[in-house]
Structure 1
Amino acid sequence: MTLNILTEASGSLTSAYLIKAVQEAGYRAVASDINPDCAGRYLADDFILMPSKNDINLWEKVVPALAQRKVNLVIPSLDETMLGWAERKKELKKLGIHVVISEESTVKIFQDKWLTYRFFLEKGIPTPKTSLEQQYPLVKPRQGRGAVGVVVTSDSVNMEGMISQEVIEGEEYTIDVFCDKISNPIYIVPRKRQGVKDGKSTGGIVVKQVEIISWVEKICKSISFIGPINLQCFVCKDETIKFTEINPRVAGGMALGFAATENWINLIVDHFFYDKDIKPKPIKFGMKMMRYYAEVFVS
């Protein structure tokens, strides 16, 4: 059966790998974006023009568009719509559309950096000291992605909708994780971030960091995750580890996680659509990723 698989934010610089992964798995990639002329439109097999995230009729427009394009499966990747997908995944499943995302309660916690901090404290997960007041030099939005709105300052900042956090020095890691239906982490792929720009890694190397893997296993036992998720942490100069955030979605740098294991699109389809068991493959520790710009020409 040829499935139609929707990917989001198909105009972003990191979206092409996911479209390519869908096609390499043998399925039709349906790109989507608010920009009708984005590169992903021409890389994919089909395209849905998305309404603005601020459109009051957003979902009343999106759901019929999914049905019209006969979308079978959705892999959310956009922070602004994650909660909406989670809220509607049971409703969409009745229409034959499978949304691979964690439960609504999980998404709510990790879309809010203050709630994330409280979760880490409650579960005994090491994390930087954090405050709703301007107590620490690093100031960032409670809800946001990448490096947008993040500053290190001693100047007074309006802290409405913000948190402050102690500055952590050390090596930054991103961990790509694939969880099954009952939150078992099938793959845990720590990658040392290299060449970070605007909060996105332009390269990395897969590292067998045993302590990070152990902490991630504990986190996955503490709350329910479904499908691809992405965690960020630092290995500090004193060799302690501190987790900073969790993104319960597929991530832009996850191409390296795919390459070091297998095409996760196949895992998603087999496990979440066809209800098959997963047999993990060995992780290729030491694998490196370097990124470059590529062009799409349309006549």
Structure 2
Amino acid sequence: MNICITSIGSATAINLIKLLKAQTKHEVSIIGLDCNTFGYTSGSLLVDKFVRSPLALEESYINFIEDLIVKEKIDLLIPIHDFEIFRLSQHKLDIQMIIPNQTTIDLFRDKFISAVSMQEIGITVPPMIIRGESIGSDIEKVIVRERIGVGSTGIRILNVDEYFKVSEDMDEDKEFAQGFITGDEYTVDVFSDKEGLPKLIIPRIRLEVKAGVATKIRIVHHTELIKMTEKILTKYPIPGFCNVQFIVNEKGIYFIELNPRYGGMSISSSLASVNIMELFIDHFVNCEPLSDYNEYMKLVKWNSVVTRYYEEKIFYE
């Protein structure tokens, strides 16, 4: 079975490579794609075959993927980067590729639209700030976010006076503002079947962050977060992987964003439960039925702490 993973320079892709190599049920050959040349990213040294690819924003990207599927006899394509998923969702490829439909991707790609959509189904989000309207006295700072962005890219945290000074120059087609809230940061990892019915919902709290990347987390059985995630995915079913980010404080639980892909630290949920790639191949490639949600949730080792370390690879030119 030939499985192709994109953006193998990312921690997300390397984690999936680890899980694929750790599972013993399926014989897998991993083809890795990246815009770097061979040896200039660790992921290229971890796969069975490396192919240099154009960037997803390049015109040639889709044709490159289509040709690769035929040439390498790819059975499953796993796109990693948000923009790759967006580009691929716009084209019907003759390949097994588990991503949401384009409407769902467009909704969660735009963080403003997704926040409004969450409010409509009764999910709390940080207070939305509309330009020209007054700001509640309980809001001390404002966070300005790019509507379409990855991670913390383009984020500005301003006091209220600073916000009023820049708000008139904000491009509302590209940015939006919310009240800035603090609290515990949670990510909920989800694995769902072909119909988007969740089979694992595993919350984790960030215990340590370095340079914006979680390096230590705890797996937490947070009932309200699980219920809230179920509510979101009932309205917007997502097959395969996704992760939902929340902030929890003494006032409540606030939805931040949903990423319709495997997360950068989602491997922690697999380590604390079951090798998710084994289930993924069973169900999405071999069409085997999955067990009941409650059966998989019994396997989760709640209260586990997962820490991250770095490992180096060397390439001789």
Determine the structure 1 residue equivalent to 2:138.
Answer: none
Determine the structure 1 residue equivalent to 2:170.
Answer: 159
Q: Aligned-pair distance for 1:232?
A: 0.2
* Residue type of the alignment partner of 1:286: N
Q: Aligned-pair distance for 1:132?
A: 5.9
**Aligned counterpart in structure 2 of residue 253 of structure 1, from 258, 261, 265:** 265
Count of matched residue pairs: 291
Contact 1:5-1:22 at 8 Å conserved across structures: no
Q: Structure 1 stretches of 5 or more lacking a match?
A: none
State how 1:69-218 maps to structure 2 within 5 Å.
69-88=72-91, 91-92=92-93, 95=94, 97-131=95-129, 133=131, 137-154=142-159, 155=162, 156=166, 158-160=169-171, 161-218=174-231
Q: Aligned-pair distance for 1:11?
A: 0.9
Where 1:32 maps in the other structure, the secondary structure is: strand
Relative contact order (alpha carbons < 8 A, sep ≥ 6): 1 or 2 greater? 2
Note the alpha carbon deviations across 1:64-115, whole angstroms, 9 max, x for none.
1232222211122201111222233xx32xx3x2101111111110010011
Instruction: Give RMSD over aligned pairs.
Output: 1.7
Contact 1:148-1:198 at 8 Å conserved across structures: no
Instruction: Provide the C-alpha distance between the structure 1 equivalents of 2:120 and 2:210, rounded to a whole number of angstroms.
Output: 32
State how 1:233-244 maps to structure 2 within 5 Å.
233-238=246-251, 240-244=252-256
Instruction: Provide the C-alpha distance between the structure 1 equivalents of 2:56 and 2:22, rounded to a whole number of angstroms.
Output: 30
Q: Which segment drifts farther, 108-117 or 52-61?
A: 52-61
Contact 2:12-2:262 at 8 Å conserved across structures: no
Where 1:15 maps in the other structure, the secondary structure is: helix
Q: Which segment drifts farther, 167-176 or 56-65?
A: 56-65
* Residue type of the alignment partner of 1:130: M
Instruction: Provide the C-alpha distance between the structure 2 equivalents of 1:187 and 1:226, rounded to a whole number of angstroms.
Output: 12
What's the % identity of the aligned pairs? 30
* Residue type of the alignment partner of 2:207: Q
Larger Rg: 2
Where 1:51 maps in the other structure, the secondary structure is: coil
Where 1:100 maps in the other structure, the secondary structure is: coil
Contact 1:103-1:224 at 8 Å conserved across structures: no
User: Normalised by the size of structure 1, how large is the TM-score?
Assistant: 0.92
User: Normalised by the size of structure 2, how large is the TM-score?
Assistant: 0.87
> 2:283 aligned with 1:271, yes or no?
yes
Instruction: Provide the C-alpha distance between the structure 2 equivalents of 1:194 and 1:104, rounded to a whole number of angstroms.
Output: 34
